[in-house]
């Protein structure tokens, strides 16, 4: 496994070597540095251990070398450098040797020089029409083609001694660009595979009918010594290609025991059986098909010319299988198998000399993937008509903008080679590790001491009511994901936006109220809750959301590359393409905690994030002035937009020491500081070539959205870094202080009352921040009143009620029995949680101070 460790500023010099005190072999590297050059995040990798300790201590020192280090050898390269065209990359992890070569992924896998597996490749099915169940002619006339993907480049990213990483890139035929990373560890017999692809087809003509990873397995054993294992919810389908149990003639107890446990069978003592082996059917093909989150079917057959025989079905398969025998075999699987349905496991040709195992990330049994837009536009051709639509369904529709071009998806797979059939106990362990891979992490207290990720603190017994509500909100979404079945290839990891009390369901079919797509930062809420609690269940929920929102909700190719899509019935459907969704602030937690290279890719995509403002004007439908994106004067919001830019620049600076990112971060901070009204200015013109704002603007423009997409969190980090940018902290504190002040106080300071004040509870944490930095007791009291009393947010009203009011209510008579909390929406839950966490961190001592009501704007409800 691989994990990250944060270090307080100035305590560890860059280039420091690390060791583990128990002598475990470790490979370490730096993933981030502080501005002074000291290590901020180090990353460590260890190989498998039969009996690992419950904890490790990382110290400075000479690392121990593994007894069987990972070795990477390049053979036959056409060119020098990191990319190896025409090369074969040979990786050894002890007894196992892996040969990687284009155009496939892995050409051969050997144990002790005996070939077990060959030709590991990506396969896909593509058709030119959707599966229409009410149009038989169309289905019969479709053209479905099978393609083996082609690897174009191979890059060795790490070469041991404990961990090796090889990246392979190519295309699934003439579309679907992909990247695959193969992870090898010293002493391991498995390879972890991270496959990411980008959808780049024509939604009206290209329909993905299957996407899988296939591997051929050399079969040397007699058919009755070939074993099939497919995982169900509590065990395995345990069969042999030629079964010797259940026959009319008994082969003997030892023979039956050997076959069911996967041991080699020698001579069969009963001649009535041994003399008739040729008359026992050989099962050539097996399929486990997970068509939904609630059920899978199993079937097998003796050959492609013959009918399938059904096997008892089940509910949720972990997605792991094995095929092989006494002389070697292959375990294979897909993480989150049933959660990412429709998925499938195939074993083919098990009765021949060369079997094939395929893990399908999109099952060929399912209807072909259809990413066409979900409605016909309803004649919303002009911006005025589209704004009318926004008024009724909250959907920001625009023709051509609901295209899925450029969205992506990442899957995690595994291949594990064996020199014989593994035991049921071993298979169960491997399945469990696939479903929930181990992760080492420092304690929340140690994380807090390192001073990373801004403003947060540990739970305390002094505020058990708020801690209970934070836990209630998290557990509610866990339960809703299960009860509402928020699963599926494109959907798993996201949550819904708003609840429909009348139908007792989330508004899955109402315009912009459906999938949340990071609206108002549920990602941040989950990660901060994980940091402070260290809970594995919170981590897994946040991990799934990060995988989803970073891939599916963001365009990685084409016109909107680098931008994300606002909430919609389809994740890619909204015409509002913004950096607030693709923001680095949502990804950096997972990257630093795990050093996941794919997440690093997503952060790298934002290296020049400011250029995305040339792609599309997010305010084009509501502008009253004549504006065309100009690289010398790009309109950039100082809240949502600059917060995302600052997160991207900071992350790139601390990961790579990137001077361009540093210059733009510090430069724009300095520009905000000299703007007459600082953050209250709302927007400023950015020169892309210099990365600096025009500081001449004298307007005031406040948006309730500015500070709910990570701006408070990134500003707190920047101020903690003490970057010597005079005036920046004051500009931020002025915004934090003034937002919730009464209008007469605002007018006295800036000449007019601020307009557009809303999301008061969410902004209580801004007042808390200013109070904590300045020592202003009245402002601290105001912050707590805004958190508890204001009626502008649903959760505030409920916060005034008895603790028992924070509960779910069983609902029967609807499609499925569910538990609902109709007062909860994702906007409110996310911002309530973030405000609670930060207020408890910043001003806990003032929570019970008495004070009058907080001022509210007349438009607070909007």
180-191: pLDDT as tens digits: 999 999 999 999
Co-location of 223 and 150 in the same domain: yes
Write out pLDDT tens, residues 364-407. 999 999 999 999 999 999 999 999 999 999 999 999 999 999 99
Domain co-membership, 373 together with 498: no
Q: Which residues contact 604 (CB under 8 A, 6 or more apart)?
A: none
Kindly list the distances between the CA atom of residue 267 and the CA atoms of 252, 296, 420, 542, 629, in Å, as whole numbers in the listed order.
Answer: 11, 37, 18, 54, 80
Predicted confidence at residue 857, as pLDDT, reads 39
Q: How many CA atoms lie within 13 A of 392 on its CB side?
A: 7
Question: With 50 as the cut, is the pLDDT of residue 861 above it?
Answer: no
Q: Do 311 and 224 fall into the same domain?
A: yes
Q: What is the pLDDT of residues 315-358, one digit of tens each?
A: 999 999 999 998 999 999 999 999 999 999 999 999 999 999 99
Last residue of a domain, one of 410, 437, 464: 437
> Does 254 reside within a domain?
no
Q: Which residue has the tokens 């536009």?
A: 377
Residues 6+ apart with CB under 8 A from 807: 472, 821
In tens, the pLDDT along 649-682 reads 999 999 999 999 999 999 999 999 999 999 999 9
What are all long-range contacts of 385-392, with beta carbons under 8 Å and residues at least 24 apart? Answer: 386/575, 386/621, 387/621, 387/622, 389/511, 390/511, 390/512, 392/511
Q: Measured between alpha carbons, how far is 150 from 264 in angstroms, rounded to an integer? A: 38
Peptide bond into 852 cis (omega under 30): no
Alpha carbon distances (Å) from 572 to 493, 517, 522: 15, 9, 18
How far, in Å, CA of 855 to CA of 166, rounded?
58
- Give the C-alpha separation, 828 to 663, whole Å: 36
The residue assigned the tokens 């315009």 is: 511
Rounded distance between C-alpha atoms, residue 611 and residue 830, angstroms: 29
Q: Which pLDDT value is given to residue 791?
A: 59
For 19-71, give the DSSP string.
EETT----EEEEEEE-TTS-EEEEEEE----SS--S---EEESPPPPPSS--E
Of 802, 814, 740, nearest to 771 by C-alpha is: 740
CATH number of the domain at 642, please. Answer: 1.50.10
Is 860 a residue whose pLDDT tops 50?
Answer: no
pLDDT of the residue at 23: 96
Tell me how crowded residue 707 is: count the other CB atoms within 10 A of its CB: 26
Task: Give the whole-angstrom CA distance, residue 493 versus residue 546.
Answer: 7
Same domain assignment for residues 170 and 187: yes
pLDDT tens per residue, range 219-236: 999 999 999 999 999 999
CB 718 within 8 A of CB 669: yes
Confidence of residue 464 (pLDDT cuts 50, 70, 90): very high
Q: How far apart are CA 660 and CA 648, in angstroms?
A: 12
Encode pLDDT of 189-217 as tens digits: 999 999 999 999 999 999 999 999 999 99
Three state DSSP letters for 411-463: EEEEEEEECCCCCHHHHHHHHHHHHCCCCCCCCHHHHHHHCCCCCCCCCCHHH
Same domain? For 208 and 185 the reply is yes
Residue 22 resides in a domain: yes
287-302 pLDDT, tens digit per residue, is 999 999 999 999 999 9
Sheet holding 408-418, edge to edge: 150-159, 163-172, 175-185, 190-198, 408-418, 328-334, 320-325, 226-231, 236-240
Mean pLDDT of all residues in 486-493: 98
- Inform me whether the pLDDT recorded for 852 exceeds 50: no
Distance CA 681, CA 267 (A): 86
Q: Say how far apart CA 420 and CA 258 lie, in whole Å.
A: 13
What is the tens place of the pLDDT at every residue in 786-837? 999 765 666 765 544 444 578 999 999 889 999 999 999 999 999 999 999 9
Looking at the fold, whether 148 and 34 belong to one and the same domain comes out as no
CB 146: neighbour CB atoms within 10 A? 12
Comparing CA positions, the residue from 55, 50, 54, 56 lying closest to residue 28 is 56
Q: Are residues 22 and 127 in the same domain?
A: no
Taking alpha carbons only, the member of 677, 664, 639 closest to residue 723 is: 664
465: left (phi over 0), alpha (psi -120 to 50) or beta: alpha
Spatial CB neighbours of 743, under 8 Å, sequence gap ≥ 6: 753, 754, 855
Taking residues 782-787, what's their average pLDDT? 94
Give the span between the Cα atoms of 848 and 862, in whole angstroms: 29
Which conformational region is residue 466 in: left (phi greater than 0), alpha (psi within -120 to 50 degrees), or beta?
A: alpha
Say if 459 falls within a structural domain: yes
Judge contact between 846 and 541, C-beta under 8 A: no
- How does pLDDT run across 6-29, given as a tens digit for each residue? 999 999 999 999 999 999 999 999
Q: Are residues 370 and 481 located together in one domain of the fold?
A: no
CB 603 within 8 A of CB 652: yes
User: Which residues, at least 6 apart from 148, have a Cβ–Cβ distance to it below 8 Å?
Assistant: 103, 104, 121, 122, 123
- 368 with 465, same domain: the answer is no
Read off the pLDDT of residues 567-581 as tens digits, 9 standing for 90 and up: 999 999 999 999 999
The verdict on residue 350 lying in a domain is yes
User: Does 47 lie in the same domain as 101?
Assistant: no
Distance CA 599, CA 583 (A): 12
Answer whether residue 259 is part of any domain. Answer: no
**What tens digit of pLDDT does each residue of 111-130 get?**
999 999 999 999 999 999 99
Work out how many domains the chain is built from and give that number. Answer: 3
* 495 neighbors 480 (Cβ within 8 angstroms): yes
Region label for 605, one of left (φ > 0), alpha (ψ between -120 and 50) or beta (otherwise) = alpha
Residue 724 carries which DSSP code?
-
Give the distance between the most distant pair of CA atoms in the chain. Answer: 103
Average pLDDT over residues 574-589: 97
Domain end: 397, 417, 437, which one? 437
Rounded to the nearest 5°, which phi and psi values hold at 374?
A: -85, -10
Q: What is the pLDDT of residues 597-630, one digit of tens each?
A: 999 999 999 999 999 999 999 889 999 888 999 9
Answer whether residue 253 is part of any domain.
Answer: no
Residue whose pair of structure tokens reads 């040339």 in the numeric block: 614
Percent of the chain residues topping a pLDDT of 70: 95
Tokens 């602030």 — which residue?
585
Q: Residue 552 is encoded by which pair of tokens?
A: 């599916």
Tokens of 490: 């494109």
Whole-angstrom Cα distance, residue 369 to residue 208? 5
Give the start-end residues of each E strand in 717-792: none
Provide the residue count of the chain. 862
User: How many angstroms separate the first and last alpha carbons of the chain?
Assistant: 47
Whether the Cβ atoms of residue 311 and residue 237 lie closer than 8 Å to each other: yes
Write down the pLDDT at residue 286: 98
- Contacts (Cβ under 8 Å, ≥6 apart) of 242: 222, 223, 224, 226, 277, 280, 281, 282, 283, 351
Q: What is the CATH number of the domain that holds 145?
A: 2.70.98
Q: How confident is the model at residue 636 (pLDDT cuts 50, 70, 90)?
A: very high
Contact 861, 792 (CB under 8 A): yes
Residues in contact with 734: Cβ distance below 8 Å, sequence separation at least 6, in sequence order: 678, 679, 680
Say whether 361 sits in a helix, a strand or coil.
Answer: strand
| Angle, helices 522-533/536-551, rounded to nearest 10 degrees | 150
Q: Phi and psi of 638, rounded to 5°?
A: -80, 0
Residue 31 forms part of a structural domain: yes
Task: Decide: 224 and 258 in contact? Cβ < 8 Å.
Answer: no
Between CA 273 and CA 605 the distance in angstroms is: 63
- The reported pLDDT for the residue numbered 848 is 86
- Region 444-465: mean pLDDT is 96
Query: Do 671 and 797 reside in the same domain of the chain?
Result: yes
Q: Domain range holding 471?
A: 444-846
CA 564 to chain centroid: 14
Is the domain of 43 the same as that of 156?
Answer: no
Minimal CA–CA distance to 297: which of 370, 229, 230? 230
Q: Which residues contact 168 (CB under 8 A, 6 or more apart)?
A: 100, 102, 105, 151, 153, 154, 155, 179, 180, 181, 182
pLDDT in tens, 699-747: 999 999 999 999 999 999 999 999 999 999 999 999 999 999 999 999 9
Residue 264 lies in a domain: no
**pLDDT at residue 246 above 70?**
yes
Each residue's pLDDT tens digit, 760-775: 999 999 999 999 999 9
862: pLDDT strictly greater than 50: no
C-alpha dihedral (629, 635, 639, 645), degrees to nearest 10: 60
Task: Beginning with the edge strand found earlier in the chain, give each strand of the sheet holding 634-637 in spatial order.
Answer: 634-637, 683-687, 692-693
């Amino acid at each position: 496994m691989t994990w990250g460790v944060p270090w307080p500023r100035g305590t560890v010099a860059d280039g420091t070597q690390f060791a583990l005190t128990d002598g475990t072999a470790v490979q370490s590297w730096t993933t981030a540095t502080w501005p002074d050059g000291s290590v901020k995040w180090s990353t460590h990798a260890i190989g498998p251990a039969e009996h690992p300790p419950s904890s490790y201590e990382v110290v400075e020192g000479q690392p121990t070398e593994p007894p069987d280090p990972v070795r990477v050898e390049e053979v036959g390269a056409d060119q020098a450098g990191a990319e190896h065209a025409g090369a074969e990359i040979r990786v050894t992890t002890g007894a196992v040797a892996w040969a990687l070569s284009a155009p496939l992924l892995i050409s051969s896998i050997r144990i002790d020089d005996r070939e077990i597996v060959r030709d590991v490749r990506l396969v896909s099915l593509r058709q030119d029409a959707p599966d229409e169940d009410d149009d038989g002619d169309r289905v019969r006339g479709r053209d479905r083609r099978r393609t083996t993907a082609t690897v174009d480049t191979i890059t060795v990213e790490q070469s041991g001694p404990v961990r090796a990483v090889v990246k392979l890139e190519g295309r699934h035929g003439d579309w679907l660009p992909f990247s695959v990373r193969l992870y090898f560890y010293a002493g391991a017999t498995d390879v972890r595979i991270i496959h990411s692809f980008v959808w780049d087809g024509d939604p009206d003509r290209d329909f993905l009918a299957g996407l899988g990873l296939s591997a051929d397995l050399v079969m040397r054993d007699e058919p009755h010594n070939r074993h099939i294992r497919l995982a169900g919810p509590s065990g395995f389908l345990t069969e042999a290609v030629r079964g010797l149990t259940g026959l009319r003639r008994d082969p003997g107890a030892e023979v039956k025991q050997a076959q069911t446990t996967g041991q080699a069978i020698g001579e069969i003592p009963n001649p009535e059986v041994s003399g008739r082996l040729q008359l026992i059917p050989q099962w050539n093909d097996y399929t486990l098909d997970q068509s939904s989150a609630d059920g899978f079917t199993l079937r097998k057959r003796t050959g492609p010319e013959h009918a399938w025989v059904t096997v008892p079905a089940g509910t949720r398969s972990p997605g792991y299988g094995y095929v092989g025998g006494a002389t070697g075999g292959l375990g294979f699987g897909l993480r989150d198998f049933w959660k990412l349905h429709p998925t499938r496991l195939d074993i083919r040709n098990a009765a021949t000399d060369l079997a094939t195992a395929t893990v399908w990330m999109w099952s060929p049994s399912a209807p072909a993937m259809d990413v066409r837009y979900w409605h016909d536009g309803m004649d919303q051709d002009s911006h005025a008509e589209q704004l009318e639509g926004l008024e009724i369904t909250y959907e920001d529709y625009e023709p051509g903008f609901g295209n899925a071009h450029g969205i992506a998806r990442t899957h995690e797979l595994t291949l594990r080679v064996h020199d014989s059939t593994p035991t049921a106990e071993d298979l169960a362990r491997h399945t469990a590790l696939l479903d929930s891979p181990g992760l080492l992490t420092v304690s929340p207290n140690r994380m807090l001491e390192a001073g990373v990720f801004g403003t947060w603190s540990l739970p305390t017994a002094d505020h058990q009511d708020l801690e209970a509500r934070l836990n209630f909100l998290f557990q509610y979404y866990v339960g809703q994901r299960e009860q509402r079945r928020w699963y599926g290839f494109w959907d798993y990891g996201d949550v819904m936006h708003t609840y429909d009390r009348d139908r007792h369901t989330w508004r899955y079919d109402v315009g912009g109220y459906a999938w949340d797509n990071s609206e108002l930062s549920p990602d941040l809420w989950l990660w901060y809750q994980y940091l402070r609690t260290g809970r594995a269940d919170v981590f897994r929920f946040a991990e799934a959301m990060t995988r989803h929102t970073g891939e599916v909700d963001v365009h990685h190719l084409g016109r909107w590359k680098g931008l994300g899509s606002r909430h919609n019935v389809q994740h890619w459907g909204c015409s509002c393409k913004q950096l607030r969704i693709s923001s680095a602030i949502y990804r950096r937690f997972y990257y630093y905690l795990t050093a996941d290279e794919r997440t690093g890719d997503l952060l790298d995509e934002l290296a020049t994030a400011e250029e995305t403002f040339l792609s599309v004007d997010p305010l084009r439908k509501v502008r009253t002035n004549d504006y065309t994106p100009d690289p010398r004067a790009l309109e950039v919001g100082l809240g949502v937009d600059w917060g995302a830019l600052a997160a991207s620049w900071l992350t790139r600076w601390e990961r790579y020491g990137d001077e361009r990112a540093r210059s733009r971060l510090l430069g724009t901070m300095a520009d905000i500081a000299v703007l007459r009204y600082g953050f209250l200015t709302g927007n400023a013109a950015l020169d892309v070539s210099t990365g600096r704002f025009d500081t001449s603007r004298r307007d005031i423009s406040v948006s309730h959205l500015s500070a709910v997409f990570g701006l408070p969190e990134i500003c707190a980090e920047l101020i903690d870094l003490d970057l010597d940018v005079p005036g920046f902290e004051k500009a931020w504190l002025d915004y934090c202080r003034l937002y919730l002040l009464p209008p007469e106080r605002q007018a006295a300071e800036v000449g007019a009352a601020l307009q557009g004040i809303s999301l008061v509870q969410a902004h209580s944490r801004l007042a808390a921040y200013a109070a904590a930095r300045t020592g202003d007791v009245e402002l601290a009291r105001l912050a707590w009143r805004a958190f508890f009393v204001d009626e502008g947010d649903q959760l505030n009203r409920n916060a005034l009620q008895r603790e028992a009011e924070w509960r779910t209510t069983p609902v029967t008579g609807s499609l499925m029995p569910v538990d609902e909390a109709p007062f909860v929406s994702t906007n409110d839950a996310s911002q309530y949680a973030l405000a609670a966490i930060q207020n408890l961190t910043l001003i806990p001592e003032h929570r019970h101070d008495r004070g009058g009501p907080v001022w509210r704007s007349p438009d607070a409800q909007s």
